[in-house]
Structure 1
């Protein structure tokens, strides 16, 4: 360790091997009020409940007055990649990057200044696109004006859209550095024919080809009041209603019809020169917000959804315990679960060296088979439900997580379920429910997944999705 002159004060810490603290220890307990302070004169603030309302134009308004000095507002739009067509593939990727383009007479530089001051962001998924921003409570009017302008009055000038090509290429290059992203994106392409099969990233053949006209057309079809939710934290409900009835009324309408994504199943293999084999074996899961989806979530925790503590190994999960008995070589395994408005995916995701991939995959799916055959106890189910509830409650501790949960529910159902209601739904999951959904998922365990002997022509159920990203030197 290099110790410089500025570090002289801490050398004694290493010599004496005693703990050093930044401040002297206080004698008074932290539970006791500090002496000499005047008592607060302001009346205690009354906790407020979430308010949700739907305007005649179809716009959903949701708010929670949490009496915070900071306000957070988000515009949630049903404009995810699933709403792309064959003609405008990649438009949502470009639209996500175009949030700082010219809004009528406002320049990108001025928008960037506002973005920095208001701490705003744009995120997108397969279901929705979210424009969110934070500000001091006194700046709420500027924040709302900014969000409305970004979502309703962008010009998409052709030369500015063309300049986004470089950023699209950078996004794709960064995504290619993470095999997990490629696995999940390819999984959806194998599982669905359209809609949910669309990638979050612009396909190669459309890079630089998404036009200003396509952006305008997509926004006209999807950014309508009946497909939007205006959500706020630390802001009065009446203020959001006024914005929805006024500025956002120009986007009234139902928008383009929504086509349901039909699950089909399939198999895809991507060959490369890596030493590791990524395999994701999945089947159709539960629809978002249903009791079946809750059972799949509990099953995911039973099998293993990764470590729950910092630098944890997750060795207590069924997947890791089962695979560790089958091979002594390094591996990683986790249960995969994704729920959407009309479908879902559930399966097991393994990473292993090429010469042990077959053993790892077979051991992983054997754990799913074991649950389907009733190989779990009430204690397993109770422990998994506690993990689900803890993770859900911790996600609501931050304003970002609470805004996302409030907006997702408002956009999907035009209502809000309190955390108590969500916890009751999780508690209602029984051992039989978990066995039933694992039996449905059991389609993925009815074949031997030996990487050296599994031919492309193998007969399997259409409800299976088999995805391998493996070394090019293996013949199939």
Structure 2
């Protein structure tokens, strides 16, 4: 395969060979259901995912947290299966099954032996099409979700992350917690979640991806049969739902500083700025920049803050991206007495990338790290299945390993420095959780770039 493969919504069939001689096929059914597979030579297992392009950002004020609530409820029983039946189906064959709610999508997935793929298709199709959302189960699961939120609130890392998103993204829907809050979960009604389910779990919303030991024609036949059993009208013509607008809304920073006081041993600090959207052509440049700054044990942050000074155990940078926005953040956990010193060092390393760029050795090492990690990740069918889903839902193009490596090879030191200059010029936000002296942050959000 040469270059990225585009995935037009109006193209019914597509087939090509990707890196490693894996066969990728895509079918768009007349009803709008999209089915993608990647057959991996020699595989004896498969990972299947059912994706719906609705996430926490799509909720209304009256339904905050309902997407995650619904994810739980789809495991609680259908018109033909109990919750125990669903669990036994996978446990009896040694399979793994679960789901994840994200800011822009929800995915129900399973990993099974090749011979058990028809079972997985049947069970997950049933969950998505025929869940009861029983009122008693709804109230039981409300309690479970409140416990899940309480567990997350006891984790200072989770709390710091949530406050960081809010600080950087402000009132933008991407800044909201995926699971909602105890108040919104207590308030949401079963009928509101039911309406959310019926509005977003339709044929034209559904994307099914499978990677590993899979025959595409059998996959399409199995999915079609399962959806027909659920009395979905697959003959009615429908166009798949449009992908999200990459231009997005203007993001205004929520706050320069958010502090949550907690009587814990460490201070958890996250600082950063608005990053790049998933469709930004500089994503490969950002990946290399992130690797150099805080992507591993040889990174600048790790070497300066942990290895040379012993000020933190965990320190790293990260760059999540979404269809129309992204973040770039730096994390460290340190003694409360070292907050000011650690935060200043984090910012200085961030600014030095913009002032002096990266060395040839750093560029080479980062490229090697990212190339190797990309190749190793594809040893797992879970990663391949997820890559198919993100390609179809968000990007509208499939990028295989060879193309990813080609793009990394095009990243230059000048490109990294220019992107770093842009990032450091953006409004900075800091979120911190622990026994925090807020005076330690005074003036740090305005640290000037060091002279070149």
For this structure pair, what is the TM-score category when the shorter chain's length is used for normalisation? 0.7 to 0.9
- Which of 94, 100, 103 is matched with 2:69 structurally? 94
Deviation, 1:365, is 0.9
Aligned to 2:220: 241
CA distance in 1, matches of 2:44, 2:306: 51
Aligned CA distance change for structure 1 residues 299 and 474 (closer, same or farther; 3 Å): closer
- Which of 251, 272, 276 is matched with 1:263 structurally? 251
CA distance in 1, matches of 2:272, 2:438: 23
CA distance in 2, matches of 1:72, 1:96: 19
Q: How does 1:274-285 map to 2 (within 5 A)?
A: 274-285=264-275
Aligned to 1:221: 199
**Of 407-416 and 466-475, the range deviating more from structure 2:** 466-475
Deviation, 1:205, is 0.3
CA distance in 2, matches of 1:436, 1:226: 41
Q: Could you tell me the TM-score, scaled by structure 2's length?
A: 0.82
Q: Does 1:110 align with 2:85?
A: yes
Aligned CA distance change for structure 1 residues 390 and 122 (closer, same or farther; 3 Å): same
CA distance in 1, matches of 2:123, 2:307: 57
Aligned to 1:34: none
- Which of 98, 108, 125 is matched with 1:121 structurally? 98
CA distance in 1, matches of 2:300, 2:269: 18
Q: How does 1:206-217 map to 2 (within 5 A)?
A: 206-217=184-195
Deviation, 1:303, is 0.8
Q: How does 1:22-421 map to 2 (within 5 A)?
A: 47-66=21-40, 68-117=43-92, 118-192=95-169, 193-233=171-211, 234-243=213-222, 245=224, 247=227, 250=233, 260=248, 262-267=250-255, 268-306=258-296, 314=297, 316-323=298-305, 329-330=311-312, 332-421=314-403
Larger radius of gyration: 1
Deviation, 1:145, is 1.5
Deviation, 1:258, is 6.0
Aligned to 1:471: 435
CA distance in 1, matches of 2:416, 2:244: 31
Aligned CA distance change for structure 1 residues 210 and 375 (closer, same or farther; 3 Å): same
CA distance in 2, matches of 1:286, 1:257: 18
Contact 1:223 1:255 in 2 (8 A): no
Contact 2:305 2:342 in 1 (8 A): yes
Secondary structure class of the residue paired with 1:266: coil
**Of 71-80 and 429-438, the range deviating more from structure 2:** 71-80
CA distance in 2, matches of 1:154, 1:282: 41
Aligned to 1:453: none
CA distance in 2, matches of 1:240, 1:289: 30
Contact 2:358 2:416 in 1 (8 A): no
Which whole-Å deviations, capped at 9, do the CAs of 1:390-425 have from their partners, x for residues lacking one?
111111111222211222212224442221111111
Secondary structure class of the residue paired with 1:373: helix
Which whole-Å deviations, capped at 9, do the CAs of 1:430-474 have from their partners, x for residues lacking one?
11111111111213xxxxxxxxxxxxxxxxx6x322222242565
Secondary structure class of the residue paired with 1:230: strand
Aligned to 2:418: 436
Aligned CA distance change for structure 1 residues 330 and 288 (closer, same or farther; 3 Å): closer
Unaligned ranges ≥5, structure 1: 1-45, 307-313, 444-460
Aligned CA distance change for structure 1 residues 239 and 355 (closer, same or farther; 3 Å): same
Aligned CA distance change for structure 1 residues 253 and 149 (closer, same or farther; 3 Å): farther
Aligned CA distance change for structure 1 residues 254 and 409 (closer, same or farther; 3 Å): closer
Question: What is the aligned-residue RMSD (CA, Å)?
Answer: 2.7
Which whole-Å deviations, capped at 9, do the CAs of 1:225-260 have from their partners, x for residues lacking one?
333311113222123333555627548566699684
Aligned CA distance change for structure 1 residues 426 and 224 (closer, same or farther; 3 Å): farther
Deviation, 1:327, is 5.2
CA distance in 2, matches of 1:269, 1:139: 49
Unaligned ranges ≥5, structure 2: 1-19, 443-452
Aligned to 1:458: none
Contact 1:183 1:469 in 2 (8 A): yes
Secondary structure class of the residue paired with 2:398: coil
CA distance in 2, matches of 1:119, 1:325: 39
Deviation, 1:173, is 2.7
